[in-house]
Amino acid sequence: MTNRLSTLLAGRPAVFDGGYGWLLQERGLPMGDCAESWNLTNPAAVDALHDEYASAGAVFITTNTFGATEPRLAQHGLAGRAEEVNKAGATVARTVADRHGALVAGDIGPTGELLEPLGTLTPEAATALFAEQVRGLRDGGADLLLVETMSDLGEARAAVAAAREVAPDLPVVVTLSFDTNLRTMMGVDPASALAALAGDGVDAVGANCGRGPDEMLSIAGQLVAGRPQGLLLVAQSNAGLPELDGDRFVYTVGPEAMAEHALELRDLGIDVIGACCGSSPEHTRAMAAALATG
């Protein structure tokens, strides 16, 4: 079976963009406001950041919709507007991607609710929440769906089920966040994630966020060792961990070090490479340049 993401890339470098939330805060997003609200109220600022990433060499532009499920939006006065917020986010990214010949990754993060038995959210209800988000992303022009920063494999699979239901033709990428002992907060290890998600028919599986490049290399090694045939692998590390510098937090890994990390991931066998929290278009530029010439 042909991998839909490989077909979509058509030989282009598989470079993802990087962080968004902290950069939008630096550009004026009020503390405590959700970044996704700017898809409606300040789309020009979101467009500008997307454009910086695309200009830096990112082939995948991630929509500003990480927290755009109903439970998270309702906490910020946007109840009942999930589909609208997601469509707006995808539309902004689509405009930028078309200017640069890039691809739009419709971003889907955790709902913020716990699935049964730890919480009250059923898998069916989670799928319904994600389906609303997928409809907006699809209608706004997403090329693929990125289910990211998941710790509960059940929640990740609910998002995949929503993608199959609402947008069956779009490639699906799933990344989990592995931390303690190279497991997610819910105890999922890379091999278990690979097996389950490959069985669900996704196109790529990997890891994002975490504690930094060194830990990501260990996780990547496990992903490569357990890779099912035909599945692409993804890695998007944080730029280290934040440290307090005066009155603001700064991340410890700069663009040059992230570029070296990108080459290590590629040489290990990772197919799709990007960055996560603490990264910026400068990190993406360094990583894309290294992958193009290294």
34 carries a ligand binding annotation: no
Closest listed residue to residue 59, CA positions, set 98, 15, 91: 15
SS3 90: helix
The pLDDT of residue 244 is 65
**CB distance 85 to 123 below 8 Å:** no
Q: What is the pLDDT of residues 9-47, one digit of tens each?
A: 999 889 999 999 889 998 999 988 999 999 999 999 999
pLDDT band at 242 (very low <50, low <70, confident <90, very high): low
Which domain CATH number covers 171?
A: 3.20.20.330
Q: Find the mean pLDDT for residues 178-186.
A: 85
**What digits encode the pLDDT tens for the residues 204-214?**
999 999 889 99
Whether a cis peptide bond, with omega within 30° of 0, leads into 242 is no
Which pLDDT tens digit goes with each residue over 157-172?
999 999 999 999 999 9
In the chain, the number of structural domains is 1
- pLDDT band per the 50, 70, 90 thresholds, residue 181: confident
In the chain, DSSP assigns E strands to 60-62, 103-108, 144-150, 172-176, 204-209, 232-237, 242-245, 248-251, 272-275
Q: What digits encode the pLDDT tens for the residues 255-269?
A: 999 999 999 999 999
Residue 1 pLDDT level (bands cut at 50, 70, 90): low
Residue 99 has pLDDT above 90, yes or no: yes
List, as one string, the DSSP characters of 216-285.
Answer: HHHHHHHHHHTPPTT-EEEEEE-SS-EEEETTEEEES--HHHHHHHHHHHHHHT-SEEEE-TT--HHHHH
Q: Which pLDDT belongs to residue 283?
A: 97
Q: Which candidate, 122, 192, 190, places its Cα nearest to that of 161?
A: 122
Q: Flag whether pLDDT at 243 surpasses 80.
A: no
- Boundaries of domain holding 114: 4-293
The DSSP H or E segment spanning 215 is helix 213-225
**Alpha carbon of 218 to those of 255, 268, 276: distances in Å?**
20, 10, 17
